[in-house]
Structure 1
Amino acid sequence: MTDFKDLVRLDLQSLATRLATGSPAQSELGTQEWLAVVQVLTTRILRDAVELSTDDWGLVAQAYAYAVDTAIAAGDFDHREKTYRALHLSSNLLRQVPANPDIELLDPHRMTELLIRELPMPVEQARAQAEHWTTLERSEILALRIAKEFLRPGLYLAHRAYGEHLPEPLNSWERVFPSLP
């Protein structure tokens, strides 16, 4: 049985090694503990990013994927939260370290593809709804806010991937971004 307090006291290398090997099992920690593991791991990745070698990044990426997927399976958050966290982590990491096409979190092209896939609506719908968002149903406003939260780090990633001239639909999303609630 894994002791949660001992687990989160581990340094990044030790924590990543444990998680990358599938330990602890989902059943060994509670739902909130899995969320805490994801948060601790994310904090340690951001703190130590500039010191990680290429081999370390493979281990850390595998550990991050396991921790997030296990937290989802434990019922603490959902796929949308996973996307939100990945976009923000990637955006913050790419402000510190070079892009790396072998590591999804460090690949602005793959992260931009994730953004496009996971946006909750087409850009045309967002543009039309943003013009009168105060009159929309709560669920429609929420979808617009989710789009904005995904775009906040996502547009940075898109510019890292494509430079100043974004392809569609990213260019249109960038134009509609300021009008989203």
Structure 2
Amino acid sequence: MSFEELTSLNALPLSRLILSDKSPLQDLTNNQLRLLLGYSAAEVIAGASKVEPGEWGILSAAMDAIFNRVVEVQEMSKREEVIRRLNLSDVLLLRVPVNDSIPLLDPHHQVTLFIGEVPLPAAQARKLGQVWKSLDVKTIKLLRETKMLLRPTLAICKLLPVGDSGERLLREWADIYPILP
């Protein structure tokens, strides 16, 4: 199937194809994989309100497969992948209810992604954030990546029950967010 044919499919048929024995992911160029990731995310978002509860597992697994392949071929760093995953989940969770059995719709899973990828401990981010204008470009970039990970995670954490371990952990980060570049 050509790239043009793939991108003519809606989210669910495309997801089923990606998860099938005839998955096209191995045959796509790196650039096509990156484009397919963007297309698939946009299709999932656009059709989110029409997705049946039993279909979310298929969509989530297909998005995982695409993300994993894009990182595997080094078209995207692991950190960029996590930032994109967090942003996708943030947007979806504005449209559909939380579902703890679907990684894409599970706030706890998203918090785990954040914790696994955030490059600095909160105390260090706070200290550096207070003086970021005097820091070298490499450190400023690290603080910027921290903020890019943090923004969707903080939004997602509003969906966690008060007192939840993820909610408590990120409360500290919420205070740091405004001082990051």
Q: Deviations over 1:103-140 (max 9, x none)?
A: 01101111112212211100000111111111111111
Matches within 5 A, 1:142-181: 142-163=141-162, 166-168=167-169, 170-181=170-181
Instruction: Report the counterpart of residue 18 of structure 1 in structure 2.
Output: 17
User: Post-superposition shift, 1:160?
Assistant: 1.0
Structure 2: stretches of 5+ with no match in the other structure? none
User: Post-superposition shift, 1:164?
Assistant: 8.2
State the one-letter code of the partner of 2:180: L
Matches within 5 A, 1:28-177: 28-163=27-162, 166-168=167-169, 170-177=170-177
Secondary structure of residue in 2 paired with 1:120: coil
Percent identity, aligned pairs only, is: 29
Secondary structure of residue in 2 paired with 1:152: helix
State the one-letter code of the partner of 1:179: I
- TM superposition score normalised by structure 1: 0.93
Give the Cα separation in 2 of the matches to 1:8 and 1:163.
41
Secondary structure of residue in 1 paired with 2:76: coil
Give the Cα separation in 1 of the matches to 2:112 and 2:66.
22
User: Post-superposition shift, 1:75?
Assistant: 2.3
CA contact (8 A) 2:114 2:153 kept: yes
State the one-letter code of the partner of 1:70: R
State the one-letter code of the partner of 2:177: F
Give the Cα separation in 2 of the matches to 1:113 and 1:13.
26
Q: Deviations over 1:124-176 (max 9, x none)?
A: 001111111111111111111011111111101112113488413x1111001
Moved over 4 A (4+): none
Secondary structure of residue in 2 paired with 1:167: helix
Give the Cα separation in 2 of the matches to 1:7 and 1:34.
11
Secondary structure of residue in 2 paired with 1:9: coil
Give the Cα separation in 2 of the matches to 1:127 and 1:135.
14
State the one-letter code of the partner of 1:167: R
CA contact (8 A) 1:20 1:60 kept: no
Moved more, 93-102 or 8-17: 8-17
State the one-letter code of the partner of 2:13: S
